[in-house]
Amino acid sequence: MKRAALALLAFLGVACIAAAIAVPTYLVPKLKVVPLDLDITSVATSVAADGDAGNRFPATILDRCSVTAKKAATLQAHLTQQRRSVIVDPSDAEQATLQSGQTLQIDRTRDAKGKERDVTMAPGDTERKCDDGLLNATVDRVSVNRKSAAPNGNVSSLQTDQVAEGGNVEDASVKLEDRKGFQYKFGFDVKKTDYYYYDTTTRQDAIAKFVEEKTINGVKTYHFRAEVPERDLSDLPNPQGEATLGTILNMPASWWGIRGKGVKSKDLITMHRYGKAVRNVYVEPTTGTIIFGEEEQEQYFRSPDDSGDLPKAVSEYRLTAMQGKFAWNDETVAQQAERADKYLGQLRMGGVIVPIILAVLGVLMLLAWALLVWRGRRGKNDADPEAAPVPEGDDDGQSQAAPSEETTVLPPTAAAMPYDAADDGQTTVLPPLPDESSTQAIPTAYDAPTAYDAQQDPPTEAFPPSPYARPEQQVQSPADVTDTEAFRAPEAPSDGFTPYTAEPTRPMPDFDRYKRDE
């Protein structure tokens, strides 16, 4: 039992040390993957470029109702950008597919005359008017490698149209080719280097450059800045392969408000919608979680003709379609910081705390095992090498060895010892009789009768006559016994009277009754 306990202790110690090595090298890399329960909701609102929190209308948008009016108009507005990203199929151990629905909506507007208006959105199944609160809505789907979080090209599409009842999502989506950049989450172990960041508005990758380290809500982050270059949005086709509605306008010069040399008010001038942006993301470097994000978006109409043949008033003209700076609200930042803390806690537990605990337990178990083994060997070395081993026995440490052959244990006779030692509990061990039928009854030897002997007959013992006894010591007793402890029948007297029976098992007769008178 003791050896089994020592073996178990050593085994557990080695197992704990092995686990301490395996957990950070095998288990932690398994944790460094895009989780399949990812669910990120971010809300960003328009903010003033100069940081003026009291500005209720920090953005500018094109008044869509002015398209049918005599002249183009813009509105000052407050905008909200909402985005929710979840994991959808196909997702497995190697890849995760994210679906991100994003909307840009108008909260309130103020026109050139100072008139303010709260804007609402019509239900999705009804026709939207020019003053509806929804500016834009898309659904982005992208599959990424779970280890690197980079797009793997299996799924990459952008839904720009609403899917009719019973319709197919693919019919309302366009494929996004050659997509390389991060977007909703960076990879693990982010470095202070450049990364690709994908912009769905212009459908292109931009280079995100490292700027600085910054602590946000107690979380250390890396600040990356990506400048998205200008792109003609009319070159980005819709699912039908055509320019998206609202990206090309062909209106009279008077509607555009263009005046100048070589331009007539009724001249039709075609303008395309362009877009560019500057994005700032703050990433927790260990987990790649984006803690905070802000972006400056600018969309405008201008002439696509860069030949230099156009009048200067036309080539230099710009009409704002949407301009604003968006920043994540405090709730989103707190949510992302908590998410990063959770991921960090899991990695810290698996990569540091658990291995340390297992290593300490393993070392302690092995030390305990070594100590017990050492003490056991030391105890054997300290024992007297010439001392006989003590077998298990009575409580006093003595054992009674079993005789190698049968023995007869008889109490000592009273006549063979002094009176004061006759009843001390000692016993005499004699070898077994060679043959029960050959035993003779030998009376107990004694020197002289005592008063005690006269009152109490000494017990008789059945054993063969000793060959070492002298003749004078072999005293014959009239009450001699056999090995059955019955009196042996004497020889028949010469007078022919035999009062005894030859049966050795009968009780002793009354000797005095048969005694002859002399």
- How many Cβ atoms from other residues are within 10 Å of residue 103's Cβ? 17
Is there a contact between 159 and 139 (Cβ–Cβ < 8 Å)? yes
Round to whole Å and give the CA distance between 181 and 99. 16
With 0.85 as the threshold, say if the pTM is over it.
no
Q: Among candidates 224, 325, 225, which has minimal Cα distance to 283?
A: 224
Round to whole Å and give the CA distance between 109 and 431. 125
- The 10s digit of each residue's pLDDT in 248-284 is 999 999 999 999 888 999 999 999 999 999 999 999 9
* Torsion (CA) 396, 398, 400, 404 in degrees, nearest 10: 170
Q: Among candidates 62, 83, 81, which has minimal Cα distance to 131?
A: 62
**Three-state secondary structure of 436-449:** HHHCCEECCCCCCC
Name the token pair of 257: 């408000």
Alpha carbons within 13 angstroms on the beta-carbon side of residue 507 total: 2
Residue with tokens 């297992």: 358
- The 10s digit of each residue's pLDDT in 234-247 is 999 999 999 999 99
What residue type is assigned to position 23 of the chain?
Answer: V
Confidence of residue 374 (pLDDT cuts 50, 70, 90): confident
DSSP bridge partners of 47: 325
pLDDT of res. 509: 56
- The 10s digit of each residue's pLDDT in 147-188 is 999 999 999 999 998 887 788 898 899 999 999 999 999 999
Round to whole Å and give the CA distance between 295 and 280. 6
DSSP bridge partners of 196: 207
Does pLDDT of 495 surpass 90? no
Does pLDDT of 382 surpass 50? yes
Name the token pair of 292: 């905070």
Backbone angles phi, psi at 280, to 5 degrees: -120, 125
The one-character DSSP state at 243 is B
- How many Cβ atoms from other residues are within 10 Å of residue 2's Cβ? 8
Does pLDDT of 417 surpass 90? no
Does pLDDT of 416 surpass 50? no
- The 10s digit of each residue's pLDDT in 51-96 is 888 899 999 999 999 999 999 999 999 999 999 999 999 999 999 9
Average pLDDT over residues 439-468: 48
* pLDDT, the chain, mean: 80
251-281 CB burial, b ≥16 within 10 A, e <16: bebbbbebeeeebeeeeebebbbbbbbebbb
Is there a contact between 271 and 282 (Cβ–Cβ < 8 Å)? no
pLDDT of res. 162: 85
pLDDT of res. 515: 54
Beta strands in 304-377 (DSSP E): 319-328
> Between helices 2-22 and 354-382, what is the axis angle to 10°?
150
Beta strands in 366-434 (DSSP E): 408-410, 428-430
Tell me how many helices (H) and strands (E) the chain has.
8, 19
User: What percent of the chain has pLDDT above 70?
Assistant: 73
- The 10s digit of each residue's pLDDT in 396-411 is 444 444 444 455 555 5
- How many Cβ atoms from other residues are within 10 Å of residue 237's Cβ? 13
* Least reliable range by pLDDT among 33-37, 42-46, 273-277, 376-380: 376-380
Is there a contact between 438 and 464 (Cβ–Cβ < 8 Å)? yes
pLDDT of res. 88: 95
Confidence of residue 345 (pLDDT cuts 50, 70, 90): confident
pLDDT of res. 518: 47
| DSSP assignment string, 482-517 | -TTSSBPPPPPPTTS---S-S-TTSPPP-HHHHPPP
Each domain of the chain, given as residue ranges in start order, spans 1-31+342-368, 36-328, 408-444+479-489
Does pLDDT of 445 surpass 50? no
Confidence of residue 465 (pLDDT cuts 50, 70, 90): low
Does pLDDT of 497 surpass 90? no
Peptide bond into 90 cis (omega under 30): yes
Does pLDDT of 222 surpass 90? yes
283 to each of 47, 84, 100, 225, 249, how far by Cα in Å? 21, 18, 19, 11, 39
Name the token pair of 324: 């604003």
User: What percent of the chain has pLDDT above 90?
Assistant: 52
Residue with tokens 């507007």: 109
